[in-house]
Structure 1
């Protein structure tokens, strides 16, 4: 009785055997590559978190003080802001007149001026002027100039330098060319248009001063320190509605008062709510950085299947966190951040007690700035210490993060080379096995044919 040899597919057999050939080394490489990728991801998170935290330190240092002040009027005549350097105080102001931007119009523009109409010269109240070349204003090349084309030419003229904005209006079927000063103040107003270089008589007449209507007169702001009509030395006049006559205080007036009305009071004082916001920004930024530290250095929990962070046992990161906590306890003048309501919790995060902060600011408002200090070249206090410490990690090229990134990049390059070599070994093994089992399949086919021939012969003999 004939025996049939088992059949097989050379390609699938070669694939399985080649995979078995590299399987052990591939597992090792995969584990190492995944670890290197996790390190790269963790370093990116650390770098971003540390940079964000340092930006917060820099922002606090960039202010003249962590403390904040506020300024407010007793009536709705405008708004005021006070920097941290502003001294507390009370002031009186009377708003006689607001600064306005000048606006004039030229009525009955015919929209039929010749494109070769020459030049127009726009003159301002301060004596300056600029020339608009009308020859280039005909954008649709129809040989005539419209009010819109003239307005566009004024707006794009380099000599204008955005001092005047031109536009058009249509009133009762007539087109108007409107010129508006971009800045407030009497000297910034539009006086008129010099038509001496305009060659089209009709356009020259339309832009003549006799055809000009003043829609709004350009005026300076007039504000009195104290009551209206007092000492002339207390009369303030300028082109802008924003005044900076008090050190550290900016006032922008938006409403003029009635004649001889009582002056309004401006109060400058401490803003505990804004100060608390500044401190809260520091606390929040610290907690966000700590959350990233916790993520990348988590111990893991085998019972729940929670994987450990890639830096679970990293001594350098652990030392950094410890040193940051030490700097947080820095004392200046016998006091620390704890006295101002900034306290560490059991998990290392910070919490702000605003009530305690307010009491401490009342007792010693200057103490908070002294404790926080400044980051940067002349580093002092908590901010300076933390910034210097984190700089040793984030500094380009030589910092801890840069060193670790470079090392991990080299490792990933090595792993990529080893992976390529292993894939070559796989390909060679596959080709070798494929050739062997293809040959074996051929031999098997020949043997099956011979066996079938013998089976046929013996079957005839038996009969």
Structure 2
């Protein structure tokens, strides 16, 4: 009579006791985890779709793109947003805006280590803002001697600096103390004075300063010289023409012909915007289709088939994109949805809509409460970081996995108890068999 291996027998029987439960629990956990993963994929696609919508539905970016072209390069550039109206404008650039730069009349032997007065103040005023530098606090070392280099640092790093940069410039073996306005235009002229220093050379240096660059405003003429004169402290004219920003970079010579600025629809850029919208929509729908398929002979059932969250998204989004906005539908401007739910663009039809009624097309997409607003409003409850429906669904599935983990832990305890019981039984049986074999051997 052969002996038994108690450990092997106990392991096998204890495993048989719990194995069916382990397999069922693992299948459930895998199912929940695959659903969490799939929901994460759909959520990411929905966020990308929302980002695409947001990027073309802001104060600075619309679905409709306009272009601004200048007849001659080098003098000005322009940008046109969706509200810009088609038109042609004559513009003459008389002068560009410049910043104020001045050189102070410091001694010829000035350098970065030249000591400055330890008392008095240095006052700067630019565009109505004034800052006072207390010379007693300029030294980099408390109680030490302050130098020109320390003064440059104190001016540039003052938290209340109204817009002036101080610099030490070296030329032909001489160091010059210069001040420059950080902004262009006459209103940003630097006014500076030193008082109470008991050092005439220092105070006179600012009194007898020399302009290196005189501040001036940019000046342009709409309609050519003699037309409408426009001035700006910066080189950018915003809103002079509705929806158009003009930036000048070089002045023309008196008597030259004005430049021609043409504003019109940019069909390629607009079509590119529309294609971004279409691609993001199709990516979202195909991602949902991937996980919600009912399956068939050659295809497995999707892990989120019949999922209420995804059914709600698809139903609401389909209703929105098939709806009417500003008296128009997407299908009327060449954006169709085929039988499979894929969105396509009829470029010719869309270009005709943009050419014939650009304002209405823009209003359909970007008008208050219209298409893009409606999409943003619809997706918001799904994507909230703390109370969004995706987070709620994933949290619920994660709780299911946690409960299964608890069941698995209970099952492991059941296994350990069964193993101990079987091990004791087979150990006792093995002992009896060994004793019987010994007794039988006594009888030959």
Is the shorter-chain TM-score for this pair beyond 0.5, marking a shared fold? Answer: yes
Distance 2:144 2:303 in 1: 75
Higher relative contact order (CA 8 A, sep 6+): 2
Work out which of the residue numbers 396, 401, 408 in structure 2 matches 1:407: 396
Alignment pair present for 1:419 and 2:408? yes
Work out which of the residue numbers 27, 43, 50 in structure 2 matches 1:47: 43
Q: Note closer, same or farther for the CA distance 1:346–1:201 as it changes in structure 2 (3 Å cut).
A: same
Distance 1:126 1:387 in 2: 42
Alignment pair present for 1:262 and 2:257? yes
What displacement does 1:240 show? 1.0
Give the structure 2 partner of residue 321 of structure 1: 314
Give the structure 2 partner of residue 154 of structure 1: 155
Matches within 5 A, 1:33-432: 33-62=29-58, 66-76=63-73, 77-106=75-104, 108-114=109-115, 117-124=118-125, 126=127, 128-140=129-141, 143-161=144-162, 163-192=163-192, 194-198=193-197, 204=202, 207-210=205-208, 212-228=209-225, 230=226, 234-244=228-238, 245-299=240-294, 307-314=300-307, 317-318=310-311, 320-321=313-314, 324-331=317-324, 336-369=329-362, 371-372=364-365, 374=367, 379-380=369-370, 382-383=371-372, 386-387=375-376, 389-391=378-380, 393-394=382-383, 400-401=389-390, 403-432=392-421
Deviations 1:380-423 (A, max 9, x none): 4x445545554565567776545533432332232222122223
- The answer as to whether partners of 1:117 and 1:200 remain within 8 angstroms in 2 is no
TM-score by length of 1: 0.80
Unaligned runs of 5+ in 1: none
Distance 1:398 1:350 in 2: 30
Residue 257 of structure 1: SS of its match in structure 2?
coil
Distance 1:385 1:123 in 2: 52
What displacement does 1:33 show? 0.8
- The answer as to whether partners of 2:121 and 2:194 remain within 8 angstroms in 1 is yes
Residue 423 of structure 1: SS of its match in structure 2?
helix
Deviations 1:119-138 (A, max 9, x none): 44243454643112333433
- The answer as to whether partners of 1:89 and 1:269 remain within 8 angstroms in 2 is yes
Unaligned runs of 5+ in 2: none
- The answer as to whether partners of 2:62 and 2:366 remain within 8 angstroms in 1 is no
Q: Note closer, same or farther for the CA distance 1:167–1:112 as it changes in structure 2 (3 Å cut).
A: closer
Q: Note closer, same or farther for the CA distance 1:159–1:402 as it changes in structure 2 (3 Å cut).
A: closer
Deviations 1:246-267 (A, max 9, x none): 1221111111111221211222
- The answer as to whether partners of 1:100 and 1:184 remain within 8 angstroms in 2 is yes
Residue 159 of structure 1: SS of its match in structure 2?
coil
Q: Which range moved further: 362-371 or 240-249?
A: 362-371
Q: Note closer, same or farther for the CA distance 1:384–1:100 as it changes in structure 2 (3 Å cut).
A: closer
Residue 121 of structure 1: SS of its match in structure 2?
strand
